[in-house]
Amino acid sequence: MPHVTTEDATQIFFRDFGSGSPVVLSHGWPLNGDAWEAAAVFLATNGHRVIAHDRRGHGRSTQTWHGNEMDTYADDLATLIDTLDLTNVTLVGHSTGGGEVVRYLARHGSRRVARLVLVSAVPPLMLRTEDNPEGLALATFDALRTGEATGRGQLYRDLADGPFFGNNRSGPENAVSQGVRDAFWHQSMACGHRAAYECIAAFSATDFRADLRAVDVPTLVIHGDDDQIVPFDVGGKRSADLIDGAVLKVYEGRPHGLPDTDRARLHADLLAFINSTERN
């Protein structure tokens, strides 16, 4: 299996296919690169080289004890991009992956990056603090930690059957197949237990506000306004406000798991943005 090796000897698994300008897809918690497989095939079929990696601790990458936080995630991503010598890159991050790619730009700059896409992404800051009163209460994330620690198999079932894909909403447009929900569960269970637990703090309590203000590449922000995991007013709306010149696309009535629930629309929006923007 293809891997790159980081400075602390962590093996980062990735899949690399297609040719053309590169698109790097960063996945959400507690999934892996397979969460992007439909988009990866679509973009590769339409003229792009697509790289989808498993974050450390997730999927087929090393299940590390240390480094399960955003700075290390970003540095791992830099190792992948540098090792493959990618340039003119489109970074696409879903959920926690949105934090990873934004922190990458803050720590490593945009020399290799041409454009950025945030999909249902966790920035700017999910956790409610004194200077972030719009965030979610700490109890929200403590409940996830409790579920992860005491019965993560059921936690992942509950997320897949409910808020992640919007299955707890009425209407046929919110009916996500059992197969999609099972895929979520299997990917989640492949994540290391410690990595999954520590990543909750990484995606909820990392402050990306300064990172977003420093973004200097064309950016597309996509977010569903019925996202029950990263609420629109906490995530996408505020991220678009902080990034100079960002384009915001709101998917009305749509949930968090857009790479599965809204594939055709998301794929079309990704391809159009990638093909229509050039770095100055």
Query: Pairing mode, if any, of strands 3-5 and 11-17?
Result: antiparallel
**Any idea how long the chain is?**
280
Active site residue 161: no
Q: Please classify residue 124 by burial: count the beta carbons closer than 10 Å to its beta carbon, then call 0-12 exposed, 13-18 middle and 19+ buried.
A: buried
As a whole number of angstroms, the distance between CA 272 and CA 137 comes to 37
Q: Please classify residue 280 by burial: count the beta carbons closer than 10 Å to its beta carbon, then call 0-12 exposed, 13-18 middle and 19+ buried.
A: exposed
Closest CA to 273 of 100, 114, 96: 114
Active site residue 95: yes
Closest CA to 107 of 218, 210, 3: 210
Q: Which of 21, 95, 188, 204 is catalytic?
A: 95
Q: Which of 27, 48, 53, 256 is catalytic?
A: 256
To which residue do tokens 């299955």 refer?
167
Amino acid letter, 4 = V
Task: Read off φ and ψ for residue 64, nearest 5 degrees.
Answer: -75, 155
Q: Which of 54, 75, 211, 227 is catalytic?
A: 227
For residue 44, give the H/E element and its range: helix 37-45
Residues 6+ apart with CB under 8 A from 89: 21, 22, 23, 24, 81, 112, 113, 114
DSSP codes of every residue in 60-99: TS---SS--SHHHHHHHHHHHHHHTT--SEEEEEETHHHH
Active site residue 94: no
Catalytic residue IDs: 95, 227, 256
